[in-house]
Amino acid sequence: MRLHVTAAAPVERTRRIRLAIALSLAIFALNAWLCRELFTAEFINNLLSNEGAFASLGRFFRDHPTDYRWFPWFNVGMATENAYQPLLPVLAAVTGAISHWSPTRSLHAVLAFSYCCGPVTLFWLAWDWSESISLSLSAALAYTLTSPAEMLVKQVRFGSDEMWGPLRLNNLAWYGEAPHSVALTLLPLALLFLYRATVRGGAWNMVLAGVFSGAVALTNAFGAFGLALAAISMVLALERGLVRMAIIGVCSWCWVSPWLTPSLIAWIRKSAWSTGGFYTASAAARFAIPAIVVAFAVVWLLTRRLKASFPRFVCLTSIWMCAIPLGFFWLGLTVVPQSDRYQTELEMAICLLFGCGIHWLWSVRRQQRYLRIALVAGLVLIGIRQIDNFRKYAAGLLHPIDITKTIEYKVVTWIDHNLPGQRTLIGGDPEYILNVYSDNPQFSSGHDPTAPNWMQRVAVFQIQTGTAAGDRDAAISLFWLKAFGNQAIYVPGPRSREHYHAILNPHKFDGLLPVLWRDEDDIIFRVPQRSESMAHVIPRGAIVGRQPIHGLDIEPARPYVAALDDMSLPLADLKWISPSRATIRTSMEPTQVVSVQETFMPGWQAKVAGRAVPVTGDKLGLIVIDPACNGSCDIDLSFGVTTEGWICRALSAAATLLALSSLFLSRRRADIRPAHSGPPACA
């Protein structure tokens, strides 16, 4: 018997799509109502978070849209790709350029939109794959109105033992989990098109899978790691698509590789364990990883009986989404760097499992109308309670503050007005918002796992903590401040309104350093330097030739710091023309070199009268230029593109051309395909 597809099929499909769109808009509207203050907020009461760093990056991209190779504001300077993955700051920069809003308001608008889209993208992943409205809607609403992580982990609850608070919003607005939040909004879209590319093929699905996978990687490392594990789960759930997904993954990385170079990936792997104090995986964690793999294999075998692939995928991906944070909080196991940060992935997994459970109940109770009504009524009542609970908490969490009344604002504006262009060690809350207002370079701030100068991190740690320094604490701190070209240091006192109080011994500089500014219990001290310039003429013998072992090991750098104070050496005047280019004017002898207190990375180039001269790095990670000048010397210093950078740019261009070509050929094939004169038939 042959059945013909009637006109009712496309009509039904259109109706379902319209319903899905309507539900998506309703989900977005609900989330927008819950967090409505975030759309227009300048500053909220979360100055203790590092959110200001992302606003500063957005301001940098907005103000320097064409010359952004070098980022001089954080951590003694770095290549811009080392500052952080660029997608969120670029979105904030574009928003600010179009709207003329401030950097913080632009960032908040992007974050609010992304937050509201998170449950929507989860809805579309679940709906397109499962074709179940009950599954996708219940998962999206659970993701909007519940917090499974709080129910399972007491340590992440806030305010009280409340298990029903908005953890996702709290992590975003209070702890500054901005890029992680945006990455988890993009993650379901990447998985959606990876699924469509695997099951349905098509150029558009392949290209969009690569685009959204790249977008996740350009937003946050946690999201990229989660995407990789979820893609493996998808291949096992579908039992096909490994080669196609690998091709998409390679092409996606090629596309974003200028911002995620092999050397940067290697550096992230090397330094990730040193963030948050977890310097290595514990021995127990090494045994936990095989246990997770075994559990994953068991779940895969058990779920092979399921006819539908989506519940299989959810069960498989939930293993790692839950094992990483629960292993940390329940068992104290650090399986991967910063295992505690995967709370929101856990919430996404539990909500998808919840959606699968609701779908199963809805299906098996198809003939029991009253049970269905009771189920819906119960969920509606819980939802109403949660809407009220979330809204009350959000109103307090997102309450705007007058930034001009804060001590942080007083500190950063004084530095901007009185120490223009001078490097300062700030620490604590003010370091995150300084570059929202100022171009001043900082000794700290930024994102440690990608900061390329290890000795900068060592020196900042030693200054702030004074570890094992004893009565030499102030002298050693001053030594490192001078070595890295700091002109001042901000020290909050015990009664300061600043949150972190990063300097553990706030009185160690009393009577040693001159006070530039004092307000309330906060002080800015002057660091005595012979010159305000960050370029210095030094003898060759003063180059730091051995990397210090730790913050107390100052012997290798003693000749260098002594040379900085040597009145017999000529001064060098450094002027920044742009973020990536500077000029140095001095007078020197061939036996002398120029030290620039900026992080050395491959890509720095120097010329004297058009002649290229050697540029290297010392063991403090700072630039050393050997111009071989005898007398007056004008040096042009610039940061360019390395060989690795050019290769990555070529790969990115090739991936872009491949994607455009595939879309063009797909369109051509569609145009020349002969039209059919009747509805298709199936047996």
| pLDDT tier for residue 479 given thresholds of 50, 70 and 90 | very high
Q: What local confidence, expressed as pLDDT, does residue 270 receive? A: 80
| pLDDT tier for residue 2 given thresholds of 50, 70 and 90 | very low
With a pLDDT cut of 90, the percent of the chain lying above it is 78
Alpha-carbon distance of 518 to 492, in angstroms, equals: 10
User: Which of the residue ranges 288-292, 380-384, 495-499, 587-591 would you say has the lowest mean pLDDT?
Assistant: 288-292
199, 244: one domain: yes
Q: Is residue 472 part of a domain?
A: yes
439, 310: one domain: no
393, 429: one domain: no
Q: Which domain holds residue 508?
A: 406-526
User: Which of the residue ranges 10-14, 506-510, 583-587 would you say has the lowest mean pLDDT?
Assistant: 10-14
Q: What local confidence, expressed as pLDDT, does residue 682 receive? A: 36
Q: Which helix (H) or strand (E) holds 519?
A: strand 515-519
CA atoms within 13 A on the CB side of 528: 10
Of residues 219 and 163, more confidently modeled: 219
Count how many domains the chain has: 3
* CATH code of the domain covering residue 554: 2.60.220
Mean pLDDT for 100-117 is 97
157, 258: one domain: yes
Angle value at C-alpha 560, between 554 and 566, nearest 5 degrees: 125
145, 261: one domain: yes
Q: What local confidence, expressed as pLDDT, does residue 7 receive? A: 52
Give whole-number Cα distances, 146 to 17, 134, 141, in Å: 26, 17, 8
Average pLDDT of the chain to the nearest whole number? 91
Q: Is residue 58 part of a domain?
A: no
| pLDDT tier for residue 278 given thresholds of 50, 70 and 90 | very low
Q: Is residue 682 part of a domain?
A: no
Q: Is the pLDDT of residue 301 over 90?
A: no
Query: pLDDT tens digits for 537-583?
Result: 999 999 999 999 999 999 999 999 999 999 999 999 999 999 999 99
Residue 614 is classified by DSSP as -
Q: What local confidence, expressed as pLDDT, does residue 14 receive? A: 87
Three-class SS string for 354-369?
HHHHHHHHHHHCCCCH
Mean pLDDT for 336-358 is 93
Of residues 675 and 243, more confidently modeled: 243
Q: Is the pLDDT of residue 589 over 90?
A: yes
522, 539: one domain: no
User: Which of the residue ranges 340-349, 638-647, 674-683 would you say has the lowest mean pLDDT?
Assistant: 674-683
339, 388: one domain: yes
| pLDDT tier for residue 677 given thresholds of 50, 70 and 90 | very low
Q: What local confidence, expressed as pLDDT, does residue 104 receive? A: 97
Alpha-carbon distance of 519 to 499, in angstroms, equals: 16
Cα 68 to its chain centre, rounded Å, is 18
236, 344: one domain: yes
Contact 180, 341 (CB under 8 A): yes
Mean pLDDT for 504-510 is 96
Mean pLDDT for 434-457 is 93
Q: Is residue 671 part of a domain?
A: no
Q: Is residue 305 part of a domain?
A: yes
454, 369: one domain: no
Model confidence pTM above 0.95: no
391, 510: one domain: no
Q: Is residue 91 part of a domain?
A: yes
The sign of the CA dihedral 491, 493, 499, 505 is positive
Q: Is residue 653 part of a domain?
A: no
Q: Is the pLDDT of residue 427 over 70?
A: yes
User: Which of the residue ranges 374-388, 415-429, 544-558 would you say has the lowest mean pLDDT?
Assistant: 374-388
93, 137: one domain: yes
Residue ending a domain, choose from 372, 397, 422: 397
508, 575: one domain: no
Residue ending a domain, choose from 490, 505, 526: 526
Q: Is the pLDDT of residue 523 over 70?
A: yes
Q: What local confidence, expressed as pLDDT, does residue 455 receive? A: 97
Residue ending a domain, choose from 526, 550, 575: 526
Q: Is residue 47 part of a domain?
A: no
